[in-house]
Structure 1
Amino acid sequence: MKWQTDKRTLGVNVTASEGTLVTVWAPLQEDVVIVLEDGTVRKLNRDKKGYWKTTLNESLVGHKYKFRINGEDTFPDPCSLYQPDGVHGYSEITDLNEHQWQDTNWRNFPQEDYILYELHVGTFTPEGTFDAVIGKLDYLSDLGVNAIEVMPIAQFPGDRNWGYDGVFPYAVQHSYGGPKAFQRLVDACHQKGIAVVLDVVYNHLGPEGNYLETYAPYFTDKYHTPWGKAVNVDDAYSDEVRRYIVENMLLWFRDFHVDALRLDAVHALKDLGAKHILQSMREHTDLLSSHTGRNYYLIGECDLNDVRYINEAKIGGYGLHGQWIDEFHHALRVSVGEKRQGYYSDFEPIAHLAKSYVDAYVYDGLYSPHRKKTFGNKASAAEGRQFVVFSQNHDQVGNRMLGERSSVLYSFGLQKVMATAVLAAPYLPMLFMGEEYGETQPFQYFVSHTDAQLAEAVRKGRKEEFKDFHGEQEAPDPMDASTFYRSKLNWNLLAGEHHYGMWRLYKTLIALRKQHAAWHTLDRTRVETVVLGPQQSLILNRWDENESLFFFFNFGKQQQCIPVNNDYPMHKVLDTESPLFMGTREESYYKDGITLSPESAAIYRISL
């Protein structure tokens, strides 16, 4: 089933030619009217699919409204574009066509060129707004980042939240500045040569302010997820729920000029229908692209190691353009000393990192002791651009009890090794805000629910989750504002020489990645690894017709001499222990092999 791609058809939409169009889906309700904040009531008419509609001839931009159901209570619009008074307040009629876009000449980058930078709007700057992010774009551009990945901005309860508790998928968070400010940010990014990736959540909604079931069967008991009932994409009434998701996706691309969407936990979208919802989303993305002439990408978070999610529909896939690989992160973390407990227990230091460099998935049909079953399938035919890798992200940092970053968990040398390992990969690299200068502030879990019972449940749940890890410390209170403020970046750290040295390493690595064709061309057929277990070292080799690049990693605390057999002279490209990067030990050198300082990495080049 295909839906309109050129304009919004759900919610309250302002048009130049037809007036203000009102559409709300409530197929099981007997009567629905729109009520303006001043008390004005307008009748809606029901169509055969359960959509209640009317046309308001006068201009009502800026007016607030709710819908009254069956002559009783009033509720915000499920397709609200703006909730200036929060999740329980009135929706505001908003004209997204008012923004005068300045990005006419913008063209999205080829996916394989993305250098991603994940950020949380509320903690990225002291102000915590979209406009404040604009003030940091020159910094990001200087670093070499060309794509920011913005954590969810759909309206959530209160002012503080990671964004995964959003309950109005169409509304832009009021405390960040609302929809007009987000349009300004995207426009500014494009003028600076930076793409925008937005994190969206279609697999569940948060608990507070979730009024969808008041209107219609948006959820189903047919399946259950960690968040409760599943979003209804294949049960009775699912056609219109699928439309709700697809139109939301198109909203971000078309009306906010977003370049890519990161889809949260796509494995939790339970769909056994003939056409998976993700495939339908890809089809509508391609259709919109054919209309606008712009490329858009869908990148999934998936916990299944199943290439079906990223394969094209013609070979039985769902068609996502790419996915995150948590397994690369896990393998890298145990290589630098993370304790092998929980899901880390499945990963072998260095050997599994080498496997991920070559095979993407570590568990690709192998038996997983942690899961106690054979897991995953092979991604041999997938391209490097289809995978996103990282050493930190919001989940892997924030879901630790204290939200510690790598900067307080590992040595300065190992932090530089991790940076090199991520940026050396034949995949899309992603940084988590602040890691490029060794941010030491934690990134902790925070919420600002206004429902007292729910707030207490979240507190208790967080403490229970980490009851075996407390020791002398308690899990931070997610409701305490200090948890949020403690998670803000400390930009003053950049003035410190070690932090600036770390920043300089990231900037240099990104520049070199763009400069060397054998590096930035994500050809998975030209990748080899050598694991030197006793030496706690790894060699990654990537090449093309003109050059061969060798990435040497020493994860151990002892100097290592790594034998290299070749008939060509090797030229040093980079050493993480260089004084430029605040190195403190002797740099690597080549003489019948590569001598590496403890906890360091070096890159050498051979001309072919």
Structure 2
Amino acid sequence: MLFQLWAPLSSRVQLHLNGTDLEMARCGAGWHELVASARPGDTYGFRLPEGRVVPDPASRCQKSNIDSLSVVTDPEAYAWKTSDWRGRPWSDVVFYEVHIGTFTPGGTFRTAITRLRKLADIGITAIEVMPVAQFAGTRGWGYDGVLQFAPHTSYGTPEDFKAFVDNAHELGLMVFLDVVYNHFGPVGNHLLSYAPEFFHKQSTPWGAAMNFEQSAVRRYFVENAEYWLSEFHLDGLRLDAVDQMNDGSEVHILEELSEAVRTSIAGPRRYLITENPANSMDLLDSSLGPLFDADWNDDFHHAMHVAATGEAAGHYEPFAEQPWQRVNAALAKGYVLPGRALLGSQGSDPTLPPVAFIHYLQNHDQTGNRALGERLVSLINEEAYTLWLEILLLSPQIPLLFQGDDYRESAPFHFFVDTDEERAEAIRNGRAKAADSFGGLPPGRSVDDIPDATDPETFLKSKLPADTAGGCLNEYQRGLKKLLELRRQAISPLLKGIQAGDVVFEREGVIAVDWPCPAGVLQLRANFARHTVELPLRRGQALYARHLLNGDRCTALLGPDGIALVRATDPVIVG
């Protein structure tokens, strides 16, 4: 077995295998290598010149925690039941985001399996797992991972994660993994001491930035993407905050990674999605085809949140003026705020189809970063929440639900972390500032009411309760299932070739967007106003309607909390 470590500053490195130190050969470009006999279950690390033993930065499994020895694994040990899995088309995707540690009371890959069948029955088609790469401590969101190849020991073994994916595929569910390639966590990052060239001197908001101009760094992350997708049979990756992945190389790391995934991995089509606050069109529109399939569109969420709640500070401030106009614009075109190209020129403002955007009413960020972790269902009335949910699921963008949305969970989801006391104090002091960006403190509350992110109770309160209903669906879940069945049967077939839309009516409290598609025009109308509104609506097949009243030859009437989804095939209006 080949053991390698990139340690440019170290003149000597020893392999610490099962308690014995073995001399490694210093090769070119800062690499140290040794071929040694090892079996699955053997423990190892690398002894540096000063005597310290560090884990393998490419460890596939840790013995206990981020500072423990690494464990040799057998990538072929797991017997797949779904080796013939062929994936699903992008038009089928309905995401459901989960945090493994809080998704079930048990908080493991194995216990998470027990909830998959009901999600599949409701109509969810893709599970998006928040980062699982080994991070410091026993609990956290996962965005401060350090050992990018090792599933966190609190969640289970690599075989447990494979079993989770395998069971999901048996039920027809795709599985995506959130990966963080823009920084390493500040705790347990031993690379800083023996390979500082791995990082830029500049920093991201969360830690040192990656030095993608180093070939060893590029290799590490490209191989990491290939590893998760091939060895764990994942259907796709979501790259966190790609706007922080700065690279001055001739070929940007995002281009290289995308090309590697497209060309080197056998099996079903793999998808790549981004979180890209820079609104970079060039990742989604390229002369060689899109590098990435879709982007999390915060612009839709932020405009929707301002329109729904009236909160307009922090991240929501750019949407404070004319939020309804901006919601309509996001539904029609995708991005609302100006973008910044990551690979070069932004170009001539290309028009992207709606399937290039992932929309959501909330995700881990917009709940957990609030002062009290409230979900949207707790901030607005039931009628408004239902209408927003219908808009989300019936629009041609790719929808994403957050864990608990399948049964309208109202309990908070908090930010939580397990770290040393010095960093814990800094985190406590920074929570109020973070909350200011996501709604601030509710009236009558003070900073003393913000849960302590380092308290284990904050983590425990974020766990979803046990599912006491078994396989039975409640009334809300049956309604959700009907919406997703409608999406599968009537909307998904229209998504191939669908184009960016047009806003056809502007008024506060009203959604009115048309999207041209090969089968006609998909028309969405929704009315949040407390009175009936008269809207343009062409005649066609009414796919879904509530409180839709008859109209004349060019308009239709939509009552309060009303919604209509109509596929028009001719220029005559519904009436």
Q: Residue 460 of structure 1 aligns to a residue in which SS?
A: helix
Q: Is the 8 A contact 1:419 1:506 kept in 2?
A: no
Instruction: Choose from 425, 431, 435 the match for 1:456.
Output: 425
Q: For residues 165-192 of structure 1, what are the alpha-carbon distances to aligned partners after superposition, in whole Å with 9 as ceiling and x for unaligned? A: 1111011011111211001111111111
Report 1:177-188 matches (<5 A). 177-188=156-167
Structure 2 residue 362 is matched with structure 1 residue 388:
no
Q: Which of 462, 470, 478 is 2:453 aligned to?
A: 478
How far off is 1:227 after superposition? 2.1
CA contact (8 A) 1:424 1:519 kept: no
Which structure 2 residues correspond to residues 158-177 of structure 1 after superposition, within 5 A?
158-177=137-156
Partner of 1:325: 297
CA distance in structure 2 between the partners assigned to 1:562 and 1:181 by the alignment = 55
Q: Deviations over 1:380-399 (max 9, x none)?
A: 44333322111111111111
Please give the residue correspondences for 1:318-467 in structure 2 after superposition, counting only pairs within 5 Å.
319-347=291-319, 348-364=322-338, 380-449=350-419, 451-466=420-435
Amino acid at match of 2:74: D
Equivalent position of 2:102 in the other structure: 123
SS at match of 1:314: coil
Deviations 1:243-298 (CA, angstroms, capped at 9, x unpaired): 11111111101111111000000000111211100001011112213xx1431121
- Secondary structure of the corresponding residue to residue 141 of structure 1: helix
Question: 2:114 maps to which residue?
Answer: 135
Task: For structure 1, list consecutive stretches of 5 or more residues without a partner in the other structure.
Answer: 1-19, 367-374, 576-586
1:573 counterpart = 2:544: yes
Instruction: Write the mapping of 1:195-206 to structure 2, written as runs, cut at 5 A.
Output: 195-206=174-185
**Residue 329 of structure 1: CA displacement?**
0.8
**How far, CA to CA, are the matches of 2:537 and 2:314 in structure 1?**
39
C-alpha separation in 1, matches of 2:399 and 2:17: 48
The separation in 2 between residues aligned to 1:504 and 1:512, in whole angstroms, is: 12
Counterpart position of 1:53: 33
Instruction: Give 3-state SS (helix, strand or coil) of 1:138's partner.
Output: helix
Q: In the TM superposition, what whole-angstrom CA distance separates every residue of 1:300-341 from its partner, at most 9, and x where no partner exists?
A: 1101112112233638x7x22221110011121122233222
2:203 aligned counterpart, secondary structure: strand
Q: Is the 8 A contact 1:387 1:428 kept in 2?
A: yes
Q: Which residue of 1 aligns with 2:255?
A: 279
Residues of 2 paired with 1:80 and 1:413: CA distance? Answer: 49
Name the structure 2 match of 1:260. Answer: 236
> Conserved in 2, the CA contact under 8 Å of 1:408 and 1:440?
yes
- How far apart, in 1, do the equivalents of 2:314 and 2:404 lie? 26
Aligned to 1:4: none
Distance 1:425 1:605, change over 3 A: closer
Distance in 2 between residues matched to 1:43 and 1:278, nearest whole Å: 36
- Does the 8 Å CA contact 1:84/1:92 hold for their aligned counterparts? yes
Distance 1:491 1:409 in 2: 24
- Give the secondary structure class of the aligned counterpart of 1:350: helix
2:494–2:517 Cα contact (<8 Å) kept = no
1:231-242 matches, cutoff 5 A = 231-234=210-213, 238-242=214-218
Aligned letter for 2:510? S
Name 2:246's counterpart in structure 1.
270
The answer to whether the aligner puts 1:553 opposite 2:553 as a matched pair is no
- 282, 288, 307: which is aligned to 1:308? 282
Distance 1:571 1:186, change over 3 A: closer
Q: What's the CA shift string for 1:98-147, capped at 9, x where partnerless?
A: 11122222112222321111111111111111111211111111111111
2:316 and 2:179 map into 1 onto residues whose CA distance is 27
Aligned residue among 477, 485, 488 for 1:511: 485
Distance 1:64 1:131, change over 3 A: same
CA distance in 2, matches of 1:233, 1:549: 43
- Residue type of the partner of 2:461? R
Question: Which range moves more in the overlay, 146-155 or 435-444?
Answer: 435-444
CA distance in 1, matches of 2:531, 2:541: 20
Is 2:495 the counterpart of 1:528? no
Give the equivalent residue in structure 2 for 1:33.
14
| Counterpart-to-counterpart distance in 2, 1:491 and 1:327 | 34
Structure 1 residue 507, shift from structure 2 partner: 1.7
Equivalence for 2:564 = 602
Give runs of ≥4 in structure 1 deviating > 6 Å. Answer: 375-378
- Return the letter of the residue paired with 1:602: A
The residue type paired with residue 590 of structure 1 is N
1:535-550 map, 5 Å? 536-542=509-515, 544=517, 546=519, 548-550=521-523
| Helix, strand or coil at the partner of 2:231 | helix
Q: Counterpart in 1 of 2:60?
A: 81
Q: Which residue of 2 aligns with 1:95?
A: 74
CA distance 1:524–1:493, change in 2 (3 Å): farther
SS state at 1:407 partner: helix
- Matched residue, 2:4: 23
Judge conservation of contact 1:299–1:320 (CA < 8 Å) in 2.
yes
Cα-to-partner distance string for 1:437-458 (whole Å, 9 max, x where unaligned)? 2111111000111x22122222
| Alpha-carbon distance in 2 for matches of 1:311, 1:433 | 31
- 1:590 aligned residue (521, 538, 550): 550
**Residue number in structure 1 paired with 2:268:** 294
Cα distance in 2 for residues equivalent to 1:309 and 1:198: 19
* 1:6 match: none
Q: Normalised by the size of structure 1, how large is the TM-score?
A: 0.85
Contact 1:530/1:538 (<8 A) preserved = no
> What's the counterpart of residue 573 of structure 2?
none
Q: Give a deviation string over 1:393-437, Cα, whole Å, max 9, x none.
A: 111111111111011001111111111121232221111111232
Q: Is the 8 A contact 1:363 1:377 kept in 2?
A: no
CA distance in 2, matches of 1:565, 1:485: 49
| Contact 1:359/1:379, CA 8 A, preserved across alignment | no
1:476 counterpart SS class: coil
2:104–2:111 contact (8 Å) kept in structure 1:
yes
CA drift at 1:68: 0.5
SS of 1:54's partner is strand
What is the number of residues matched between the two proteins?
555
Residues 438, 485 of structure 1: alpha-carbon distance in 2 compared, 3 angstrom cutoff: same
The 1:550–1:322 alpha-carbon spacing in structure 2 relative to 1, beyond 3 Å, is closer
Q: Is the 8 A contact 2:46 2:53 kept in 1?
A: yes
Cα deviation, residue 163, structure 1: 0.6
Segments of 5+ residues of structure 2 without an aligned counterpart are: 571-575
User: SS where residue 392 of structure 1 aligns?
Assistant: coil
Structure-1 separation of matches of 2:224 and 2:144: 17
Q: Tell whether the 8 Å contact from 1:146 to 1:193 is kept in structure 2 after alignment.
A: yes
Q: CA deviation at 1:597?
A: 4.1
- Give distance in 2, aligned partners of 1:119 and 1:407: 18
Q: 1:30 to 1:401 in 2, by over 3 A?
A: same
Aligned mates of 1:146, 1:314 — CA distance in 2: 29
Cα contact 2:535–2:556 (8 A) shared by 1 = yes
Q: State the secondary structure of the residue aligned to 1:97.
A: coil
Q: CA RMSD in A?
A: 2.6
SS in structure 2 of the partner of residue 198 of structure 1: strand
SS at match of 1:298: strand
- Post-superposition Cα deviations, 1:341-378, rounded to whole Å, max 9, x if no partner, equal 22212222221111112211112479xxxxxxxx9877
Rate the CA distance shift 1:546–1:266 in 2: closer, same or farther, 3 A.
closer
Q: Which residue of structure 2 lines up, in the alignment, with residue 5 of structure 1? A: none
